[in-house]
Amino acid sequence: MNLVIDSGNTRFKVGIFDGAVLVQKEFFDQADGLKKFMIDNSFDHVLVSSVNYNSDEILTWSSTTGKKIILTPDLKLPIILSYATPVTLGVDRIAAVCGALEMFPSQDCLVIDAGTCITYEFINHEKKYLGGGISPGIAMRFEAMHTFTSKLPLVKPTHEVSLIGNSTESCLQSGVMHGIVAEVNGIIEKYKNLYPAVQVILCGGSSSFFENKVKHPIFVTPDLVLIGLNRILRHHVEF
């Protein structure tokens, strides 16, 4: 059994894999919960990907005698990084494209991760990660309009909103929600013009919002980052 840990901006996401099969998921809001879970359970190998917590400390909570790996941009990966500044590349972005490799090993893939930011990651059929794009996520757009103006209120996102808003609140919601759908559809269209057979994979906390609003066929895979982390771990265990 392999343990992979995705330490994000808001919580710890954990995946337990039997080979390539995800058999259990856990979520922890606090480090103490994760620590107790790791002390109480044993695993063959562990990989940690963290953007906000000390990865070395997390690994000390595991008693495994197998491999203990921290995901960094310079770690040996099952993909080729064709990226101008790999040291600045977020480990969550690396994990997402490795997840795409696991799902579609010989195809061009566009990964759209709809989280705090919306990231677009492209890996081609030769396993080369070429890069992509980053834009503000849903909540960030609402917060930006409220923060950088003197009168616009902070409103909440909604799944259903009229195109034509008839109040300040509904106008803000229309602009963000319809605008972000238009962005995602437009980006997918541009990639399809360049790579007609590209597979589009959607993940992230806001992925459910886009699931029925994207015009093109997509694969919604909430566990893509965990799948990618396990793919990286297996790359080190098996080879």
Closest listed residue to residue 114, CA positions, set 230, 204, 16, 18: 204
Task: Kindly tell me if the per-residue pLDDT of 108 is higher than 90.
Answer: yes
Number of domains making up the chain: 2
134 plus 62 within the same structural domain: no
pTM metric for this prediction: 0.90
Catalytic residue annotation: 92
Tokens of 137: 């996520």
DSSP 104: S
Tokens of 105: 């090993």
- Structural domain including 64 reads 1-70
Task: Kindly tell me if the per-residue pLDDT of 45 is higher than 80.
Answer: yes
Strands 12-18 and 2-7: antiparallel
Task: State the Cα–Cα distance between residues 188 and 110, nearest whole angstrom.
Answer: 8
Mean pLDDT, range 197-215, rounded to an integer: 86
* pLDDT grade for 239, boundaries at 50, 70 and 90: low
Task: State the Cα–Cα distance between residues 114 and 74, nearest whole angstrom.
Answer: 25
- Domain final residue pick, 15, 37, 70: 70
pLDDT of 212 reads 79
Q: Where do we find the tokens 């995901």?
A: 71
Task: State the Cα–Cα distance between residues 81 and 94, nearest whole angstrom.
Answer: 9
Mean pLDDT, range 141-154, rounded to an integer: 96
61 plus 97 within the same structural domain: no
- Tell which wins on pLDDT, 96 or 87: 96
